[in-house]
Structure 1
Amino acid sequence: MKNIILAFLPFLLIACASKKGPAAFTEGKCRIESRCPDEGNCGFEVLKDKSLIIKSDGTGKPYYTLEDAPGKIVARYTYAAKSGKYQDDAYTEEVIFETDSELSNLHKSNPKDAKMLFGVHCFCRDKAGFYKVGKGLLDYQDNKLIIKLQDNIVEGQKTDLVMVSFK
């Protein structure tokens, strides 16, 4: 009996090992640690094997589409304000970026080289749309993602710091 237990011990240790590094980012459960702005809900999702394709519309404003791309990851954080009594008073902010499956570009002090956008979705003239992120921080260490955006990409911006931990 003792030999049988010893034979299965390595398999038990492997099965119970905690996930570290990229596997935790893509497969682990996440918890948003940063404060979610008042009167709203925050969410985070990781899309495996997707690539962020940034395009420009006729006015020069950026927008994105997603494409299948093995070995790439797209991550998206959203803040959605609870709407009030009016039909067109919805307000949502979105931070979306691409990385590779090894998370190699998530150790940058300046994310301008990364494919990263900040989006505002509302019925608000000259404010709605996507903006390229030029300054800030994009980092992943010890199973924690930190996104620090530059202040006031748009007037009244709610999202400036996002911290997400992975198990």
Structure 2
Amino acid sequence: MRFFILLFSVITLVSCKVKNEVIRFQDELEFGGYCPDDGTCTFSVLSQKVLKVKKDNLGAIYPAIAEGNKIVLKFEYSRNEKPNVADASYKEQVFIELSVDQLEIETEVLKQVNILFARLCYCKGQTGYYRVRTGKLAIKKLLGETYNISLKFEVTEVPQVVTQIEQIFSLSS
């Protein structure tokens, strides 16, 4: 049964292509936080978007990024694949939805912030999307449209590699 759930999740992720336009990808700012040595990390800012949390017919949640009036930050860690090993891909993602008029925030009450963590791998019974409820989020304005985000978090449902994100990002084009 778990195999069919995993198979359904993978097929859904691969076949459902949400039309999402990345307004700005942070090429001009290097990824500044912890990234495990065995992979690569990316960080992107999606302006004029919202993060909707949907449920599939099995009750599992998944993100849908749609047009809106907020900002969605997306962090992704992809482990380097081992050659000649089937089903060796491993990826973690973090989605954070922010209100444009409340970009500066500091809270340990993550239930008030829309944050999703994804563990995507061939990890029987330990893959999928999960709400982030435990941790600390701080976003501080630096200069102009430049901000610093610091997120330390824990997901209790599944093991995780990445437990913190530190990044400087810009909202200007």
Q: Could you state the TM-score of these two structures normalised by the residue count of structure 2?
A: 0.73
Once the two structures are TM-superposed, the CA of residue 152 in structure 1 deviates from its matched residue by 4.8
**For residue 149 of structure 2, what is the aligned residue in structure 1?**
145
State the shift of 1:112 in Å. Answer: 1.4
Q: Which residue of 1 aligns with 2:158?
A: 154
- Displacement of 1:31 after TM fit? 3.2
Structure 1 unaligned spans of 5+? 1-25
1:103 Cα deviation after fit: 3.6
Offset from partner CA, 1:34-79 (integer Å, 9 cap, x none): 221121000000000010010122232210111101x311110000
Larger Cα Rg: Structure 1 or Structure 2?
Answer: 1
> Share of identical aligned residues, percent?
26
Partner of 1:135: 134
Q: Which position in structure 1 is the counterpart of 2:78?
A: 80
Partner of 1:108: 107
Q: Aligned pair count?
A: 140
Give the TM-score of the pair, scaled to structure 1: 0.75
**CA apart distance, 1:160:** 0.3
User: Does the 8 Å CA contact 1:99/1:105 hold for their aligned counterparts?
Assistant: no
Aligned to 2:65: 66
Residue 96 and residue 122 in structure 1: after superposition, are their counterparts in 2 closer, same or farther (change >3 A)? same
Distance 1:150 1:38 in 2: 20
Report how far residue 151 of structure 1 moved: 5.8
Q: CA RMSD in A?
A: 2.1
More relative contact order, 1 or 2 (CA 8 Å, 6+ apart): 1
Q: Distance in 2 between matches of 1:27 and 1:89?
A: 27
